[in-house]
Amino acid sequence: MENTEIRIRTAGPGDAEELLQIYAPYVERTAVTFEYEVPGVLEFAARIRHTLERYPYLAAELDGRLVGYAYAGPFHERAAYDWAVETSIYVEKNRRGEGIGRQLYDALEKALLAQHILNLNACIAYPEKEDEYLTRDSVRFHDRLGYRTVGEFHQCGYKFGRWYNMVWMEKHIGEHTAAPLPVVPFAAIDSEERLG
């Protein structure tokens, strides 16, 4: 059941410290991210700032505290890929299963659609066999949201003395026409369209 008290808003560099508290356990205790070291606050703030130059970076707030975030980035830098993005999401570990992720991704999709993005791609760490560091929960979550698996790379990520696979999942959110509308930066979108 979704938590109706959740407020989705645009994150900013000033949220870096609080968002890092959500992200750090994934770095330190899971293979969900292949990052080895928790970035510093300044580095994380710079990542948020860089993302917001073109794409949405959204935070879920509950009772004045951030409990999750989602953002998009370029799928690839070349111009022909402009209509495709890579999505990422992290929810506070003890709040998973409360509908926060769905609310974040719903808002992210609306914002990306307003930018004229058509393809969402998720790069997901995937275990051949689930273990204490990595389950298949992220793939199951994306599957429920309408993503489909389109590729798998085997033993491409090494963390905690183990090799992990990586899968690509995709979702189309718009019509692919012969003359697609140009992609507009997130900051240029009307504030009502940004979060639906």
For residue range 133-190, what is the model confidence (pLDDT) as tens digits? Answer: 999 999 999 999 999 999 999 999 999 999 999 999 999 999 999 999 999 999 998 7
Query: Rounded to the nearest 10 degrees, what angle do helices 16-29 and 41-52 cross at?
Result: 110
Please report which confidence band the pLDDT of residue 4 belongs to, taking 50, 70 and 90 as the band edges: low
Cα–Cα dist 147/5, whole Å:
26
pLDDT score for 3: 44
Angle at Cα 87 formed by Cα 103 and Cα 6, nearest 5°?
20
pLDDT score for 1: 42
**pTM exceeds 0.75:** yes
Residues 32-43 as b or e (16 or more Cβ within 10 Å = b):
bbeeeebbeeee
